[in-house]
Structure 1
Amino acid sequence: MLKLVLPKGSLERSTMDLFEAADLSVRRDSSVSYKADVDDPRIESVRILRPQEIPTYVADGLFDLGITGRDWVEETGSEVTSLGELKYSKATTNPITVVVAVPGDSEYRSVSDLPAGVRVSTEYPELTRRFFADKGVDADIRLSYGATEAKVPDIVDCVVDITETGSALRAAGLRVIDVILVSYTELVANPASFADPEKRHAMEQVLTLLRGVLEARGKVLVKLNVAAEALDAVIGVLPAMKTPTVNELYGAAGYAVETVVPKNEINILIPALKDAGATDIIELPLSKIVH
């Protein structure tokens, strides 16, 4: 039913891991194959291509559904329907940020301060051109094919580049003076395909599975028993997503409590629960949370 295109390159591994965790495992002949399939009746075929190209191909109707970054949707000006953000990236859950950066000792504090004719290197020429024009700066914009940060100050005066943690820019001695765009990974659809009720329903079901995995990451399920007299103390310790589930045990022997908590708090939480009177504490991994 759905022709799906997934990103090759820096997002490739994390995207494959996400689909596998969503029980939509992408199968291909080799790790360098551009064709794949998913054993799911909603997905007819899978291609793996550069994220820069994906918005255009989806907009043109070559694919019904694709994963790419908001940065490439904006750069290409593609008319696609966004089903929403998928908050994962190459190394973290942070978005990437498209920024303007200058040498650390530069006198410039914002794009508006830059002189006419400023030389700019970027992999996002259209996005950069629009941003500089909006700021009233006449810039000499030069397409970069990589290692953009290495071109300052000998080749260009400033760069428009992406950063996830900021470490590469700092290592190159650069300082951010403006933010053009904050970009998450997105699930995007061809507008005509999205208007088809059957395809739209299938897209929304795929999105439910993917978001369920992302929601569960970094969380665990905690289950425990507690005597009636200690219930309030135990509930007071729990950092619940919502109100904890509390059920009375057979024979009025106390209560069973369960809730979802952040994994990074569990080393503090379990001893605190025991101190508050909880017994039979169980920590369980989660694969999906669907609201």
Structure 2
Amino acid sequence: MLSLTLFTLILAMVSFLAFVYLIEPGPGGRVQYLTTKAALLAHKYDLVDHLDPAQTRQLYLSTCTRQCHGKDVIELTPRTALEWEQIVTRMGKQEKASIGRTEAKTIIEYLQRNHLSNVPTILPEATMRFLKKRLWRLDFGESDLYFDIIYLPRGYRHLMPYLAFKSKPVDSDEALFIVYVNTHTGILPPWDLAKYTAIRIDGGEEAKAANWQVLYEDGQLHHRQGVLTFPDIDQGAGARAGSLEMLIRPPAMRERIFHWRLPIPDAGLRSTKTKQGGDKQ
């Protein structure tokens, strides 16, 4: 009986060693390959919450670049944090992708960390050129905190669905700004930006923000998108002004100042055809 048990154990060990030898080794060798496969399987069924960087990249490669398309389609076209979340969520609903909830969260975080664009990618190039030149302002970050501000006068409110998460054109007298706040390594503070932001016309008296509405926030608290509103600047002195400034004074940080030249010219962007096709009014 003992000899049979010992023989069975030896046979099982030989079979396992033969399996390890015959499998195609990964870059880190056969043991690393098996370890990664085991971690990915456990992660798929929520038995492991976090993967190490190498395992996370392997999950991305095996899920996004082998079943669907090559990696150049992804890596040569950075997207915003929101766009990556929407893309992965949409792909997860397709049977061929077979992405679980935990896997999707990990892949989204990987793409947001490694292939991020602060600029929405859905608009035509001509529209984006006008936005960047006339309406879009940004800074280069301090303490790993980056602001992107888009001023949207009334004539450009139809662009809101392409620039702000789940938003519709707003026909109001308020001055409206779409704000993106990003950090790469830290966590965004839960600020009410209306308390720390003001605008002024031609260097005159400051006007405090009326409201800050958060539209989107990623699960890592690295990316936030919202709308700041102010009293109307399109009428009265604002209509004759030559410059507009926004001043953001984050707690314990230097003041950030963003400039626009007024008036904003009419670029004829009343109808927008997205890169995916279709006209939006």
TM-score, with structure 1 as normaliser: 0.24
The answer to which structure, 1 or 2, has the higher relative contact order (CA under 8 A, 6+ apart) is 1
Greater helix share, structure number: 2
Greater strand share, structure number: 1
TM-score, with structure 2 as normaliser: 0.24
